[in-house]
Amino acid sequence: MKKFDKVIGALIGFYIVISIMLPVLLKGVNNKPDGEYKVEINRVYSGLIEEASFTEPDLSSYKFIKSVEFLPASEETKKEEIAKFYKSTNDLEYEVKPWFSGDKLIGYLRFNYEGRYSDKNILLKVELAVFIFAAVLISILLYVRNSILKPFNILSKMPYELSKGNFKEELKESKSRYFGKFIWAINLLRENLDHHKIKELKLEKEKKLLLLSISHDIQTPLSAIKLYAKAIEENLYDTNEKKVSAAKLIQEKSLEIENFVKDIIKTSKEDILEIEVKNSEFYLKDLVDKVIATYEEKCNLKMIGFIVEAYNNKLIKGDMDRTLEVIGNILENALKYGDGREIKMCFYEEDYCQLIKIYNSGEQVSQNEFNHIFDSFYRASNSKDKPGNGLGLYICKHIMKKMDGEIFATCESEGMSFTLVFRD
């Protein structure tokens, strides 16, 4: 920002120097009027000296000569008249010629003319042109500074603050056509991150309390199991009935511990499933356009055939942003786990439902793995050495369920497909 201000300051300084130097630079040039005025003077002069007395000539057809004055050559002529005759008027240039009748001097003729280039006129024009150019250029630079660079300079600090976990500093709203919506989005992102941070801390606290509570509760059945196991080991039970009873008690206590473990797993899942879905309506074309804009170029760069078959545009019930998230998860998996030959989107209408089928060529998963692909934290054997956490398809299924829809997978002859079902 400071460097840009220096550029503006340097430009203003350069303009001031040029404005000062212009009169000096143009001084020698502007004192060279065009020689055409001499032709007009000679023509008027020739016409006047043929007359017996001075008569004001008609100068309407002349371009340079503005007026002609006469000073008699007489002893009665006053000094004031002579001084006035030779005095410059209206910033015009003049030329004086004698008027002879034979050998007798009658007087003097003064021709007032304007050269083609007037010092003041050309200087004013050049000064005005330079001023307008400088004003426009400086205005553009100031506009860029205040409307683009200054807001961007403020925005550039926000990602750094967010990366440090500082979610409290709010950007002032702006009506700028370039950054107004972007600032609004950054503030919304900041608020969401702050909300999730608070929520995460709260969940973390609840998890710790839950783990402490369950750990305490587990101690009781676990102590009983250890006690019964030790009694059996030391053969303290003298009859089979007592041994069977102890085994049953161990089994009961094991079930208690198993239930506690289920509670832990259930709580962990509920944290993952807390996804907000805003059900409304959106056009299928808007959804497809966004998918194409995001993935067509990506597929082209990886030399993967990306095919979007024809469809009928219609209103779909659901959350468009969440639907994009679902399709994005499936397409990312296709890019990650497919063989890189083809990805295809097909559209169907069945039983008052809109179906979107996404197919990718590649290796199929085994039947046993296929039955678990929508489970949380599950990763198939083809995911080795590939980043991921096994939650993508699990979240997709949960989102579709919240939109009153469905998602199911199918093993194809040369790949896999996922079908999204939207109810009308």
pLDDT at 27: 60
pLDDT at 30: 47
pLDDT at 49: 82
**In sequence order, what are the residues at sequence separation of 6 or more whose Cβ sits closer than 8 angstroms to the Cβ of residue 36?**
63, 64, 116
List of the chain residues with pLDDT < 50: 30, 32
SS3 annotation, 313-345: CCEEEECHHHHHHHHHHHHHHHHHHCCCCEEEE
pLDDT at 125: 78
Q: Return the closest-CA partner of residue 45 out of 34, 33, 57, 35.
A: 57
Number of residues in the chain: 424
pLDDT at 348: 93
Q: Which helix (H) or strand (E) holds 243?
A: helix 240-272
DSSP state of 53: S
Q: How many CB atoms lie within 10 A of CB 81?
A: 12
pLDDT at 270: 56
Looking at beta carbons, which pairs linking 158-162 to residues 24 or more positions away fall under 8 Å?
158/186, 158/190, 162/189, 162/190, 162/193
The 10 Å CB-count burial string (b at 16+, else e) for 16-53 is eebeeeeeeebeeebeebeeebeebbeebbeebeeeee
pLDDT at 205: 74
Architecture of the domain defined by 181-272? Orthogonal Bundle (1.10)
Architecture of the domain defined by 280-423? 2-Layer Sandwich (3.30)
Sign of CA dihedral 21, 26, 31, 37: negative
DSSP state of 239: S
Alpha carbon dihedral 406, 412, 417, 418, in 10-degree steps, equals 10
H helix and E strand count, the chain: 12, 10
Q: Return the closest-CA partner of residue 179 out of 147, 202, 204.
A: 147
The structure tokens 């402490």 sit at 212
The upper half-sphere exposure of residue 319, i.e. CA atoms within 13 Å in the direction of its Cβ, equals 17
Per domain, the residue ranges of the chain are 2-30+120-154, 36-116, 181-272, 280-423
Topology agreement, domain 181-272 and domain 280-423? no
3-state secondary structure at position 102: coil
Asked whether the beta carbons of 309 and 346 are under 8 A apart, the reply is: yes
Q: What is the pLDDT of residues 155-196, one digit of tens each?
A: 776 776 666 666 556 666 666 656 667 777 777 877 777 777
